[in-house]
Structure 1
Amino acid sequence: MRERYELLIQGVKNGTLDLTKPSVYRRFLILKQVKELRTGLSKAVSSEVTKELELGQHNIAYGSYKITLPNGKIISGDFISVSGKNVSKIIIDQIGTSFNKKNIIPEVNRVNKKLGRFKVTRKGGDHDFDRKLFEYLLKEMEKSLGTPLKVDADYQGRGFSRKIVVNSEMTPCYSCEEIIGLQFQEMFGKDIQVDVHGGVDYQ
């Protein structure tokens, strides 16, 4: 992770990244917020767990969602999603399901003996922050609708709307991009807008 930060700083120093541009400045704001979240989470759990989690090695994302469903109900909230196998479970076991009024996105559940429903295309991608987040959102939509949703189905024009905003420490990897940009948006198209902003580049 450190190398990614060094590349970003180097880009500012050599002039390839211009801090006066809103898009570049936003990257540093995201990293500042991620640092605060990482420090806060590390302090909130026990010292033994802090060492076990190694939060500095895991990508952290935060953001918000507000989704209108076909039945008129609205689901909304602020969230924190942390990559890594069992990392979310350990944090929730220690401090509960929220931190600083943000929902902590849980681990992906098994469905029909399979880990989640969105397909991943890289080794280790089962526990990426985006996989956890979009599996969670799908489940929350199903709860409010009272009916299951299929990942390979087309729900465009069915009454889904609003927006999801994701701020991630790292820009999405190719597996994350496929879940966000292909699988989820193939389901809902432009009806549910997904804005993703990253801090350091994924390498």
Structure 2
Amino acid sequence: MSTSPRLKTQDTKARDAEYQALWQACDRASRKQEYLCSHHEAKRIILESACHGILDKRRGQGKIMCGTSIVSMVHLHLQRDVNSRLLAEARMSRFPSPPPNDMPCLANPVANAGNPVGYNDIPQQQQQPQRVSPMISAAEMALRNEVTSLRQDVSLLRQEHELVVSSLQILTERVAKLEGRQAVLEAYPNQGIEGRNAWMLVKPMSPRSQTQGRDEDMVNKAADF
């Protein structure tokens, strides 16, 4: 029995969402000071812990687990870290190009028999000095990464705060409406029921109800006089 295209699309979206969540968790963990100052195995442990934490969080939220390989994700981030470090070392250890050679070289002495020397200068383009980018220390880079991570956390907290405030405002409006309805119901007088329970009144409904029974007989006697 083949799977419907809709279910395939949902499975693909779930796998992509889980992969992106693991990638972002590893990326955030790799920017922290603890990761930058650790050796290779400690970095692996930090990334695996971040991946397990995000998976536990998604499992608690009821998300679908797609079985994304944590080992492959951690290996990919460690390899990216090694490649970036090698590129940085290559950039910092690059030497400036050598100056142009002003010495003459042999340039076909048989072509011009009138010139017994046979040496001609080969014009070379004068090279401009290369601009070397300022070197950034590891501590400064780690500090920048930490500041970026903190800014992201502050942004998430601000969004959660706005969501909580909005929810409280909605609940306050609902409570106010319910209290208003309760006040209206309490102000409305109790009414009797015709029939067997006609005399089971908590309080009188109108001045007429106050004259029923014994009081009504007294009123009738006063009317006879």
Q: Which has the higher strand share?
A: 1
Q: Which has the higher contact order (CA 8 A, sep 6+)?
A: 1
**Normalized against structure 2, the TM-score is what?**
0.19
Q: Give the alignment's TM-score, normalised by structure 1.
A: 0.21
